[in-house]
Amino acid sequence: QTTWNMATPYPEAEFHTQNINQFAQDVNKLSGGELTIKVHSGQSLFKHPEIPRAVRSGQVEIGETIMSNLSNQSPLFQVDSIPFLVTSYDSARKLWDGQRPFVEAYLKDQGMRLIYAIPWPGQGFFTKKEINKLADLEGVRFRTYNSTTEQMARLMKAVPTTVEAVEIPQAFSAGIVDAMVTSAATGLRTEAWEFADYYYDIQAWMPKNMIYVNERAFQRLSPKAQQALIDAGKEAEVRGWKLSEEVFSDTTAQLKGKMNYQLPSEELMKGLAQIGDVMTATWAEAVGPDGEKMLAPLR
């Protein structure tokens, strides 16, 4: 009988966490009670950026991280948040197919093992004013939170403005930022209609959360428990992708009733797609031949 601790960054109410709770139950059942996973949600053990280190060095046996947090670590995680590269669950699946072997190899190299990954619902633009074409974004104070969003804002000729997540409502109300990119789900939870007027359902990108374990801890498990973990992970991946889609349609529908919901104009999408192409090309060049392999299923 083994008990594992799992560090996760998101709160209980998040669908990722609920999926993880189900996964933990499945592992326990499939292993015949041999392996119990205690889920510590909401950064209650480690802050989000510390979780990969914690799993790598065995401080916890298993953890969850949003891949784009590791963008500086390796460009293969950065592809997750390149805008306008992936705009549907279908293409997200293809990107993940191309990405997966590389993520597995990266984690293996660090003494870790990938279990599964689930995308967030597509990211849209929350803005104060109407955006019909790319030029409308010029000079808009656009919230950025990492190098990819910063680069995107610059290419859109917007003013990149870093604001921490918890300060978004106040920053919008006081005019520190005029626009941000996030999912309908997050917009709903933070009651974005209180401070923003328009929601553009762009599905700019679909970043993924990955669940991974410490390899040494994995090797110490009995074959039965190892298999339980792998099987439960496979189920969790299938369930999580479906859940993500459900959350996407649910939250988008709810948001429609709360604020000015817009599908982006063709002109806007064309402009954004160009920016996506520039960023994809820059990325592919930096990565080299591996980049093409990762994108192959998408092409």
Partner 1 sequence: MLSKVLDRLFTWSGYLAGIFLVLIGILVVAQIIARMLNTQIPSVDEFAGYSLAASSFLGLAYSFRSGSHIRVTLITDKLSQPVQRVVLILVLLFALTMISIWSYNAIYLVYESWLFNEVSTGIIKYPIWIPQISMGIGVVLFCLALLEDLIRVVTGKTPNFEKNQERMAED
Partner 2 sequence: MDVSLIGLIVAVMMLFLLASGVWVAVTLMSVGLISMLLFSHAPAATIQATVIWGQSSSWALTALPLFIWMGEILYRTRLAQDMFEGLSPWLARFPGRLIHINVVSCGIFAAVSGSSAATTATIGRITVPELLKRGYHESTVIGSLAGSSTLGFLIPPSIIMIVYGVAADVSITRLFIAGVLPGAMLMILFSGYLAIWSLLNPSKTPPPEPSVPILQRIRETAKLLPIVLLMIAVIGSIYAGVATATEAAAVGVVGALAIALVTGSLTKQSFIDSVLGATKTSVMVSFILAGAAFLSTAMGFTGIPRELSAWVGSMGLSKFELLIALTLLFVVLGCFLDGISIVVLTAAVIMPITQQAGIDPVWFGIFLVVVIEMSQITPPVGINLFILQSITDRNLWEVAKAAFPFFMLLILAAVLLIVFPEIATWLPNTIRQ
Q: Interface with partner 1 by CB under 8 A: which residues?
A: 49, 53, 56-57, 69-73, 110, 139, 141, 144, 146-147, 150, 159-162, 164, 176
d(CA 208, CA 197) in angstroms, rounded, equals 27
58 binds partner 2 (CB under 8 A): yes
Q: Are 241 and 118 in contact (CB under 8 A)?
A: yes
Name the binder of 65 from partner 1, partner 2, none, CB < 5-8 A by kind. none
Which of 19, 31, 41, 144 binds partner 2 (CB under 8 A)? It is 41
Range 196-235, binding partner 2 (CB under 8 A) = none
Least distance to partner 1, CB of residue 162, Å? 6
Least distance to partner 2, CB of residue 171, Å? 6
Name the binder of 288 from partner 2, partner 1, none, CB < 5-8 A by kind. none
* DSSP type of residue 88: S
At 47, list the tokens. 């802050």
223-256 vs 15-30: helix crossing angle, rounded to 10: 160
60 binds partner 2 (CB under 8 A): yes
One character per residue 152-191, x = contact with partner 2 (rule: CB under 8 A)? -----------xx-xx-xxx--xxx------------xxx
| Strand-pair partners of 199 | 126, 261
At 63, list the tokens. 């953890």
Least distance to partner 1, CB of residue 33, Å? 34
CA-nearest of 255, 181, 207, 214 to 16 is 207
Strand boundaries in the chain, DSSP class E = 2-7, 35-40, 62-66, 112-119, 123-127, 141-144, 159-162, 179-183, 198-200, 208-214, 260-262
Q: Which stretch binds partner 2 (CB under 8 A): 36-44, 145-153, 268-276, 282-290?
A: 36-44
Closer to partner 1 by Cβ: residue 73 or 282: 73
d(CA 262, CA 124) in angstroms, rounded, equals 10
295 binds partner 2 (CB under 8 A): no
Strand order in the sheet with 123-127: 159-162, 141-144, 179-183, 123-127, 198-200, 260-262
Residue 171 three-state SS: helix
Closer to partner 1 by Cβ: residue 138 or 267: 138
- Which distant-in-sequence residues (6+ apart) come within 8 Å of 42 by Cβ? 8, 9, 10, 11, 12, 17
CA-nearest of 206, 226, 241 to 62 is 226
Which of 44, 73, 254, 274 binds partner 2 (CB under 8 A)? It is 44
290 binds partner 2 (CB under 8 A): no
Q: How many residues bind partner 2 (CB under 8 A)?
A: 37
Closer to partner 2 by Cβ: residue 32 or 58: 58
Task: Name the amino acid, one letter, at 247.
Answer: V
Q: Which stretch binds partner 2 (CB under 8 A): 58-66, 73-81, 142-150, 251-259?
A: 58-66
Name the binder of 136 from partner 2, partner 1, none, CB < 5-8 A by kind. none
Could you list the residues that contact partner 2 (CB under 8 A)? 3, 5, 11-14, 38, 40-47, 49-50, 53-54, 57-60, 163-164, 166-167, 169-171, 174-176, 189-191, 194
